[in-house]
Amino acid sequence: MRRRYDDSSWGQFFFDVRGLPSFFGKFRRLQRLVDWSLAHENILHLKNWDELPRVVVDKVDDFNAVLSLSIVDDKTDVMLKLAPAISAAFRGRVGAWVARPGYVSDDENWVRYELVDSSHSYQLRPEKLADYRPHGDEIKLDQMHSVHASSNSGWIIAGSTGSGKSIEALNILLQFMLMRRRSGKDSKGESKVVEAPLLYGVDFKRGEMAKLFASSDLPRENWTTGAPGEPNVSYVLDLVIEQHEKRQAELSNVKSITANSWKIGHAPVVLILEEFGSGLATLPKKEAEDVVRKVKLLAMQGRSSLSGGIILISQQASAQGTGLTTDILQQFSNKIGKGRMRPQERQYLMPGFELSEKAWPKNSGWGYLFNDALNVPVEYRGMFPNRPNADEWLGQAIIKAINKNIAINAKLAKE
C-alpha cells in the first residue's frame, strides 16, 4: 500500500483489474484501470484524495471509446500529456488498447482521449502501387495518421536492427517519389505531369539505400556512400542546396507569407541520410564540420523550399548516432522511434515526454510518432505491403518510380 505526503493510505479501495470478474465488460475494465493508475500509481502526482478526477469511459464501437477525465486545477497541461501513461496502464492487462493524445472538451471541464483497440489493426497494408499514390502532399503512416509534407518537412527514423525502421523509410520514400506535380491536360486528355520529384542520398551504411540507388537510373553524382572514388558528401549536399536556393529565389517574388514550393507548383526534393552520425565520424574534421553546417542549413531553411526535405535514418537516437545537436534536431518536424530504445534515446528524440519502459512498444513495426501537429507522441504501427517478398517488391517499386521521375524531368528539360 502506498503512503501519501499527508500519511493517509492511498489506493486502498482500488484493486488490480486483472482480478476483475469475467462478467466485467472491457469498457468497465478500461475505466477501472485508469482509476487504478490515478490512485495507486498516482500518475498525476496528486496530494489529496479530493483532487482525483472523475473518470468516464464512453463506448463508440467495439474497437473505439472515449475516456474523459474531469480537469484538476492547475493540472491541465499535465493531463494533456497522459496518453502514454494511460496506454502503459492498459498494456498486458486488457487487450491491446492505447490512448491517443488528449484534448480539452468544448466546455473546458474535461480532458478527453480517444481509446483505440490496436489489435483491431489500423496498420496500412498496401497491395498495389496505387495504394501508395498520395493525395496532394499527404504522406500516409497508418489509417489514423498522415503528414502534409509541404508544411512538415524533415524526418528522423530511429530504431534498432529489426525494428522496422528501414521499411518505414522505404514506405515514406515511395510516397514522395510518386508525388508528381500535374497541371493541364496532355494529348490523351489526361492530367499532365509538369515536374517530378528529385532524389539525393548519402548512405554511410552502404546498405539497402545504396543498393537501391545503384540499381536505379539515379545520376551517380546524386548519391554517395562516402567511400574513396565516389562523389564527395559535401558535393551531394551542394546539389540539394542549389535546388533550395533556386526555389527560395522564386518564393522571394511571391507575396503570400504562407507560400512554399509545393504551393507554387514544385515537386518534392528528398535527401536520404543513412547512419549519418556514424559516417560523420569517419570524415576529416573540417569536412565533417562543413557537412553538418550544410545539413543544418537545409534543416532550418528547407521546410518551405524542398517540400520533402531530409529523411535521416539511424540505429541510435543520440547526437552520436544522428550527428545532430539538439538545435538541429528541433528543425525536423517528424520523429519516429521504433523497437527497443533506451530511455536516454527516447528523451533525445522526443524531449519533454517521459515515456516509461512499459509504455514503449518493442515489437517490430511498432513505435511512437511525434510531430508538430501532435501534443504528445502517439503509438502506432507502420505500414507494411500485403504481398509476398514485401521488402523486395517495395524496393523494385521505388526503383521504377525513380527511373520514371528521371525520364519525366529529362523530357521536360528538353521542351
| One pLDDT digit (tens) per residue for the chain, 415 residues | 343 333 334 333 333 444 444 445 788 888 888 888 888 888 888 887 778 888 999 988 888 889 999 988 888 888 888 888 888 888 777 767 888 888 888 888 899 998 888 766 678 899 999 999 988 889 999 888 888 888 777 899 998 888 888 899 999 999 999 999 887 665 666 667 789 999 999 999 898 899 999 999 999 999 999 999 999 999 999 999 999 999 999 888 888 888 888 888 889 999 999 988 888 888 899 999 999 999 988 988 877 788 778 999 988 888 877 888 888 888 888 999 888 788 888 888 887 776 666 666 667 788 888 887 776 788 788 899 998 888 899 999 999 999 999 999 999 888 7
Q: Quick count: other Cβ atoms within 10 Å of Cβ 141?
A: 24
Say whether 139 sits in a helix, a strand or coil. Answer: strand
300 vs 248: CA distance, rounded Å: 13
Widest CA span of the chain, in angstroms? 82
Amino acid at 215: S
The domains found in the chain, sorted by start residue, are 2-117 (3.30.980), 129-414 (3.40.50.300)
Tell me, what amino acid is at 242?
A: E
One-character DSSP codes across 168-210: HHHHHHHHHHT--EEEEE-TTSSEEEEE--EEEEEETT-SHHH
Q: Taking the model in full, what pTM does it have? A: 0.77
**Cα-based distances in Å from 288 to 149, 177, 233:** 28, 29, 9
- The predicted pLDDT at position 164 comes to 85
Residue 291 confidence (pLDDT) = 92
Q: pLDDT value at position 372?
A: 77
Cell (9 digits) for 124: 496500412
Model pLDDT, residue 1? 31
Q: Long-range contacts: 208-212, Cβ < 8 Å, 24+?
A: 208/166, 208/170, 208/395, 209/169, 209/272, 209/274, 209/313, 210/274, 211/395, 212/395, 212/398, 212/399
Residues 6+ apart with CB under 8 A from 178: 129, 132, 133, 134, 401
- Among 281, 295, 304, smallest CA distance to 327 is for 295
- The alpha helices in 187-325, defined as continuous H runs, are 208-215, 233-251, 276-280, 285-306, 319-322
pLDDT of residue 17: 40
**pLDDT (0 to 100) of residue 114:** 86
pLDDT at 317: 82
**How do beta strands 146-148 and 138-140 pair?**
antiparallel
Residue-level pLDDT at 392: 92
- Residue 168 has a pLDDT of 92
Return d(Cα 72, Cα 38) in angstroms, integer: 12
Residue 249: φ, ψ to 5°: -65, -40
Q: Are 323 and 237 in contact (CB under 8 A)?
A: no
Residue 51 carries which DSSP code? G
Q: How far apart are CA 52 and CA 42, in angstroms?
A: 9
Characterize the bridge pairing of strands 366-370 and 378-381. antiparallel
Inter-helix orientation angle 390-414/165-177, to 10°: 30
> What was the pLDDT predicted at 225?
94
